[in-house]
């Protein structure tokens, strides 16, 4: 199984188009310790030929352009793609907007939970992907599912989806609803365990997660690799940076640091490699020379960058 991180930034990317915070500025000026990143997506392949995308980011065109494996092969038909399927982990803009760039009557399959499928259904713009050509299939937690292409042929990638604490997409929030729960685990946001048929090694991909509880800790124990929500380093980071009013928790994202953070929450769980993905443009770990980056590394974590690849 090959897994490639094709986009390691959170929604907005890095630098974000309208962001003038010091980190986005450093990325634009080419500071050597700060590297640009595209929005949240990974790709997995069991045979090195066909690929399953996990999330379709608004940067998908650029991601395909910089990833040879995702481009049509030289001897392939005039219209073709090695992308066999797209698995969605929630309905956030950074995870579904790229579907619109995959139009052109090209067959592949979409897998998502009932909630996310309902969002696609409710927004007619997604009909640019004719369901007769691009079938939409239910990804029901928590049953192991062999991911197939549009014709029903197995890709060799097997997924086990499970709800994680999170929230509905920002544009679906009932504004002002005092009972809104931004850390519920009703399936609006899922994590996925990715394996190859008959493989013992598993990679977990959880780009959004509000909390680490006992069930999540048990689930990821003994994983070969965990790709986990690295949106913010501290919960109030966006407020302190004066770029927004929301905490990480309010956005459905656990912080890396602190007693309730992901580093502490997973410290005693046995995991092969632990890598932060979905990194927001305010997160100080984006600067490789920062104390926060050093602290994350010292705690045994890696900070994902675009193009990072692993094999299991």
Interface contacts to ligand MLT, rule CB under 6 A: 10-11, 92-94, 170, 208, 251-252
98 binds, among Mn ion, ligand MLT, none (CB under 5 to 8 A by kind): none
Q: Which residue is nearest to ligand MLT (CB)?
A: 11
> CB burial class (10 A; 0-12, 13-18, 19+) of residue 250?
middle
Q: Residue 115 and residue 106: Cα distance in Å, rounded? A: 24
Minimum CB distance to ligand MLT, residue 11 (Å): 3
Sole window of 78-86, 88-96, 129-137, 289-297 interacting with Mn ion (rule: CB under 5 A): 88-96
SS3 of 134, please? coil
Instruction: Write out the binding residues for Mn ion, residues 226-285 only, by CB under 5 A.
Output: none
Q: Which does 170 bind (CB under 5 to 8 A by kind): Mn ion, ligand MLT, none?
A: ligand MLT
Name the residue nearer to ligand MLT (CB basis): 69 or 188: 188
| CA separation for the pair 76, 95 (Å, rounded) | 28
CB burial string 149-173: b at 16+ within 10 A, e below: bbeeeebbbbbbbbbbbbbbbeeee
For ligand MLT, give the closer residue by CB, 63 or 195. Answer: 63
Query: Quick one: which of 3, 9, 11, 191 contacts Mn ion (CB under 5 A)?
Result: 11
Which of ligand MLT, Mn ion, none interacts with 287 (beta carbon under 5 to 8 A by kind)? Answer: none
CB nearer to ligand MLT: pick between 81 and 262: 262
Place of tokens 């410290």: 267
**CB neighbour burial string for 61-98, b if at least 16 within 10 angstroms, e if fewer:** ebbbeebebbeeeeeeeeeebbbbbbbbbbbbebbbbb
- Is the distance from CB of 237 to CB of 282 less than 8 angstroms? yes
CB 253 within 8 A of CB 229: yes
Q: Residue 69: what are its φ and ψ, rounded to 5°? A: -65, -20
In angstroms, give the least distance from the CB of 5 to ligand MLT: 16
- Residues in the interface with Mn ion (CB under 5 A) total 4
| Residue 251 touches which member of Mn ion, ligand MLT, none, C-beta under 5-8 Å by kind | ligand MLT
Residue 156 touches which member of ligand MLT, Mn ion, none, C-beta under 5-8 Å by kind: none
Given the rule CB under 5 A, which of 26-34, 92-100, 169-177, 180-188 is the region that contacts Mn ion? 92-100
Binding residues for Mn ion, rule: CB under 5 A, are 10-11, 92, 94
């Amino acid at each position: 199984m090959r897994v490639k991180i094709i986009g390691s930034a959170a929604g907005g990317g890095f630098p974000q188009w309208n962001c003038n915070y010091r980190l986005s500025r450093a990325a634009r000026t080419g500071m050597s310790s700060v590297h640009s990143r595209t929005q949240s997506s990974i790709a997995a392949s069991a045979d090195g030929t066909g690929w399953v995308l996990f999330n379709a980011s608004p940067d998908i065109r650029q991601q395909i352009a910089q990833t040879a494996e995702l481009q049509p092969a030289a001897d392939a038909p005039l219209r073709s793609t090695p992308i066999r399927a797209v698995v969605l982990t929630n309905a956030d803009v950074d995870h579904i907007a790229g579907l619109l760039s995959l139009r052109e009557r090209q067959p592949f399959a979409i897998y998502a939970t009932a909630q996310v499928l309902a969002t696609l259904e409710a927004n007619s713009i997604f009909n640019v992907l004719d369901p007769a050509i691009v079938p939409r299939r239910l990804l029901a937690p928590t049953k192991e599912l062999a991911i197939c292409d549009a014709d029903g042929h197995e890709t060799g990638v097997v997924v086990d989806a499970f709800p994680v604490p999170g929230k509905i997409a920002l544009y679906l929030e009932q504004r002002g609803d005092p009972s809104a729960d931004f850390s519920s685990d009703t399936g609006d946001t899922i994590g996925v365990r990715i394996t190859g048929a008959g493989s013992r090694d598993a990679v977990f991909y959880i780009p959004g997660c509000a909390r680490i509880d006992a069930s999540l800790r048990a689930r990821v124990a003994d994983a070969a690799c965990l790709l986990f929500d690295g949106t913010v380093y501290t919960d109030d980071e966006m407020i302190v940076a004066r770029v927004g009013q929301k905490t990480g928790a309010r956005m459905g994202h656990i912080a890396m640091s602190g007693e309730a953070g992901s580093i502490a929450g997973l410290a005693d769980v046995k995991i092969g490699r632990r890598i932060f993905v979905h990194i927001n443009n305010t997160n100080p770990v984006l600067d490789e020379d920062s104390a926060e980056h050093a602290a994350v590394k010292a705690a045994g974590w890696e900070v994902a960058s675009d193009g990072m690849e692993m094999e299991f």
